[in-house]
Amino acid sequence: MPAPFHPTRAFQAYQLFAANTNVGKTVFATGLCRAAALLGKEKNRNVFYLKPVQTGYPADSDERHVKTYNSSTIRTQTLYTYPDPVSPHIATNSPPEDAEVMQRTKQWMLDSLKGAQDKSGSFFFLETAGGIHSPVMSGTPQADFYRPLRLPSILVGDGNLGGISTTMTSYESLMLRGYDIPAVLLFDKEYRNHELLQRRLKVDVTAVPPPPAYIEDPVHEQASMKKYYEQLDEYLYPVMKRLDQKHEQRFDRLEQMADKSREVFWWPFTQHETVKDVTVIDSAYNDYFLTYAKNENKELEPKEMFDSCASWWTQGLGHGNPDLALTAAHAAGRYGHVMFPEATNEPALALAEKVLEKDTWASRVFVSDNGSTAMEVALKMAMSATGRRYGWAHKAPIEILGIDGSYHGDTIGAMDACSANVYNEQVQWYQPRGHWLTPPSVHITKGQAHVRVPAQVLQQSHGTTVNYDSVATIYSVDKQGENRDPELASIYKDYIRSQLKMLRDQKRHIGAVLMEPVLMGAGGMIFVDPLFQRVLVDTIRQESADLLGYSSADKAGWQGLPVVFDEVFAGWYRLGRQSASDFLGVKPDIAAYAKTLTGGLLPLALTVTKEPIFDIFLSKNKPDCLLHGHSYTAHPMGCAVAKRSIELLDEFAASETEHWAPFRKEWQQQQEESVWSMWSPDVVRQLSFSDRVESVMTLGSVLAVELKDEANKGYGSTASQSIVQSMRRNVFTENGSEATINLFARPLGNIIYLMTSQISTPERVRQCERILLQCIQSSSN
């Protein structure tokens, strides 16, 4: 798959969409090719015309019409033809797959480009068939089918009665799919549709005289049309000039964006002093960013990059998802944002009900904006609950019990719930308020699945590793570790008890237990041994009040301490199961969700909990309530999108043949029945044998590769940076041709992680794996 079928400064490409069938698309395509040829003479450029799908052929041939009224220098092509003059989806009983049609379309664009290197550039026009949502052969609406190209779209409007409406609705449907629409063209009929359209649409609208009446005699018809097109040149040459100007302006802007962005942005978590490349993301689709970067000749080149950091772990249902965009737009149109306290709206209620249908342990949903605020809410809930149950003085110095290496967000309260690390120790008001246990972790090294048990846990001077026959065994967790490893479970319990006793001796007030179940993300993609977390939860519930010396007659609803699961990263199928708590076989008392909750589209976070915790805040006194609330709490757009995302993920999870089924099947073949990943077991094994790699681990869409890093600088390490840079920049060869795909990954100390969306296909993930392997292997040499 070689390079750019996306526009460049020299390769000016458009597609023609129409508001309806039979409104003049081919006439405008013919006229624009002529206008482009005129401009092409000045600018030494070729003109190309492509009709991917033609029905009613050969009686109808838009390509033939275009050729007839253009000079012979224009290069034209039709790819698929069908004799019936009907919609392509009923014109054939054996429709080609979308991927094949797209591949042939791209290939013709590429071949044309190669054949056009005698000139300084080219104008390319792609003519669609029928209206914008008229389907291709598979039934996919064209506006969706052509979206991966996202060519600037010239909308041919409808000059007939009713045409204002069809033009405006087509415009809106194209906008909803993220197309740019540089021009609307239509025939100037008696209804003067263009006048109102120009008032309503934020785009150039040009009306031209309609073609003359059809003449039966072909010679006369041709002469009449030839004259018409000469007249049309007067209208369309200026249109083409404006399109050309807009195109140049677009590339001027793209050229400046990196530098301008350096000047005005203060990027999050970014040391500006060391930023090398600024990735200019022109658009995104599915798993891919379309980016533009300057090559060695300082020319902008398009590059597709796989979003392999899942846009900071948010990506769920793919970039530019039209279903989510329409869901969001409907909520915006029905409500905008509406007041939430003491009020209700359908998207918010439906989302809460949907989540509680899943989280049967919970009964209450609190809504905020991001993982950090969701965790601050969880902290406020948990600490009030504990303080009130154990009758602590209002200003008792309540702390939390956590796991070392955890990360709960960037607001100061969420930071305070984490042990000191490079994220927070620079922050003036950061003040660690808790005690953190050292976690054992899961790894695969040289094909061997094992748990790394640190010295602290063993209460000895050295750590150890415990091998297991498979990753699946490690995740077969139950009470006391009976199925997996009762001996290790007992070691864990001893460690936890000793820590709780120590806290008792220090007379500390522990208000909650916090953990990221299964996977600690920002702390370094640490797969915590699920047995450890299970034993921790069990011990907290059974013994912590006694061990800590807290007593209360009230034991309703939660035991010992409230258990808070921070599932901001791991929730909603990120690890292959709906909730990361499923791996532990226990449920929390409070859980926080965000990130992929909204399918990767917009911010929304939930804190869910159960009635006994909620009840603690009930009183006749207003200030006893939970004093937290952001202005956009439960904004309908976010709630509607989150609910839709959950519905779709449930469908994915239920499918036995599609979506995640092929991935699951591959892991089942490796006897890994209870765990699965989008990353193939073979590649995981292969990576685990690399001499550059310390260990590997994967679940769901997450792959973490721990690099050997002798200095062992953790987050401060730069070990992964060169590999990440090469994934972003290198040109990859596959089967002798250059791959156009790069990986947009982010370094995390000595960890390289890749993360897909939840709609990634095996083909796309396998390509990422090959690139990753190449980059790691070449870095080893």
Among 38, 79, 110, 196, binds a copy of itself (CB under 8 A): 196
* Amino acid symbol at 116: A
Among 716, 733, 734, 780, binds a copy of itself (CB under 8 A): 716
Among 109, 132, 545, 707, binds a copy of itself (CB under 8 A): 132
Place of tokens 């100007």: 245
Does 155 participate in binding a copy of itself (rule CB under 8 A)? no
Residue 419 contacts by C-beta under 8 Å, 6 or more apart in sequence?
A: 402, 404, 405, 406, 432, 434, 436
Does 469 participate in binding a copy of itself (rule CB under 8 A)? no
Q: Residue 587 or 630: which CB sits closer to a copy of itself?
A: 630
Does 79 participate in binding a copy of itself (rule CB under 8 A)? no
What's the rounded Cα separation, in Å, for the pair 315 and 573?
A: 12
What's the rounded Cα separation, in Å, for the pair 482 and 646?
A: 34
Does 758 participate in binding a copy of itself (rule CB under 8 A)? no
Among 126, 149, 151, 398, binds a copy of itself (CB under 8 A): 398
Q: How many residues bind a copy of itself (CB under 8 A)?
A: 173
Does 150 participate in binding a copy of itself (rule CB under 8 A)? yes
Q: Residue 86 or 556: which CB sits closer to a copy of itself?
A: 86
Structure tokens at 684: 């995981």
Choose one: 233-241, 347-355, 687-695, 770-778; the region binding a copy of itself (CB under 8 A). Answer: 347-355
Among 50, 74, 243, 331, binds a copy of itself (CB under 8 A): 331
Label residues 498-510 b or e (16+ Cβ within 10 Å = b).
ebbeebbeeebbb
**Three-state secondary structure call for residue 411:** coil
Does 357 participate in binding a copy of itself (rule CB under 8 A)? no
Cis amide bond preceding 58, omega within 30: yes
Axis-axis angle for helices 322-334, 636-654 (nearest 10): 150
Does 1 participate in binding a copy of itself (rule CB under 8 A)? no
Q: Which helix (H) or strand (E) holds 585?
A: none
Q: Which helix (H) or strand (E) holds 714?
A: none
Structure tokens at 393: 């003085």
Q: Which of residues 240-299 bind a copy of itself (CB under 8 A)?
A: 253, 257-258, 260-261, 263-275, 277-284, 289
Q: Which of residues 737-756 bind a copy of itself (CB under 8 A)?
A: 744, 746
Does 360 participate in binding a copy of itself (rule CB under 8 A)? no
Q: Residue 195 or 554: which CB sits closer to a copy of itself?
A: 195
Among 602, 653, 661, 773, binds a copy of itself (CB under 8 A): 602
Among 12, 76, 609, 690, binds a copy of itself (CB under 8 A): 609
Does 203 participate in binding a copy of itself (rule CB under 8 A)? no
SS (H, E, C) 484-550: CCHHHHHHHHHHHHHHHHHHHHCCCEEEEEEECCCEECCCCCEEECHHHHHHHHHHHHHHHHHHHCC
Q: Residue 41 or 253: which CB sits closer to a copy of itself?
A: 253
Characterise 205 by phi-psi region: left (phi > 0), alpha (psi -120 to 50), beta (else).
beta
Q: Which of residues 102-131 bind a copy of itself (CB under 8 A)?
A: 130-131
Does 95 participate in binding a copy of itself (rule CB under 8 A)? no
Among 34, 177, 435, 574, binds a copy of itself (CB under 8 A): 177
Specify the long-range contacts of residues 580-584, CB closer than 8 Å, at least 24 apart. Answer: 580/516, 580/517, 580/518, 580/519, 581/517, 583/475, 583/477, 583/517, 583/518, 583/530, 584/477, 584/517, 584/518, 584/530, 584/533, 584/534, 584/537
Identify the CA nearest to 243 among candidates 186, 294, 194, 181: 181
CA trace torsion 725, 726, 731, 734 (10° rounding): -130
Identify the CA nearest to 778 among candidates 731, 744, 741: 731
Does 361 participate in binding a copy of itself (rule CB under 8 A)? no
- Supply the minimum distance, in Å, between the C-beta of residue 46 and a copy of itself: 29
Among 219, 295, 618, 691, binds a copy of itself (CB under 8 A): 618
Choose one: 220-228, 304-312, 489-497, 658-666; the region binding a copy of itself (CB under 8 A). Answer: 304-312
- Supply the minimum distance, in Å, between the C-beta of residue 261 and a copy of itself: 4
Q: Residue 121 or 700: which CB sits closer to a copy of itself?
A: 700
Q: Residue 312 or 468: which CB sits closer to a copy of itself?
A: 312
Does 632 participate in binding a copy of itself (rule CB under 8 A)? yes
Among 8, 370, 445, 760, binds a copy of itself (CB under 8 A): 370
SS (H, E, C) 46-84: EEEEEEEEEECCCCCCHHHHHHHCCCCCCEEEEEEEECC
Does 581 participate in binding a copy of itself (rule CB under 8 A)? no
- Supply the minimum distance, in Å, between the C-beta of residue 348 and a copy of itself: 7
Q: Identify whether the C-beta of residue 137 lies closer than 8 Å to the C-beta of residue 88.
A: yes
- Supply the minimum distance, in Å, between the C-beta of residue 563 and a copy of itself: 17
Does 379 participate in binding a copy of itself (rule CB under 8 A)? yes
Among 1, 3, 79, 176, binds a copy of itself (CB under 8 A): 176
Q: Identify whether the C-beta of residue 676 lies closer than 8 Å to the C-beta of residue 667.
A: yes
Q: Residue 321 or 680: which CB sits closer to a copy of itself?
A: 321
Among 595, 643, 659, 664, binds a copy of itself (CB under 8 A): 595
- Taking residue 336's Cβ as centre, other Cβ atoms within 10 Å add up to 10
Residue 359 contacts by C-beta under 8 Å, 6 or more apart in sequence?
A: 579, 587, 591, 608
DSSP annotation of 338 reads -
